[in-house]
């Protein structure tokens, strides 16, 4: 059995928006961010890198 959030995601019913991974605490052992997301200023919508607000809106409509 998977969580309701996972079910919604699999059906395209929700979007994950990642906004910046910058943190001045560099190496917390409990940090959930992968090495490719730590201390970057990129924004992702459903794992797609976005450059502007319209990119986020377009991804939400998919």
pLDDT at 62 over 90: no
Element (H, E) at 62: none
What average pLDDT score do residues 1-27 get?
81
pLDDT at position 33: 78
β-pairing, 43-45 with 17-19? Answer: antiparallel
Mean pLDDT of the region 45-55: 93
């Amino acid at each position: 059995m998977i969580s309701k959030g996972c079910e919604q995601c699999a059906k395209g019913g929700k979007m994950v928006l990642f906004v910046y991974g910058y943190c001045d605490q560099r190496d917390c052992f409990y940090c959930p961010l992968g090495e490719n997301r730590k201390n970057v200023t990129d924004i992702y919508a459903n794992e797609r890198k976005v450059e502007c607000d319209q990119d986020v809106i377009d991804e939400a409509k998919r």
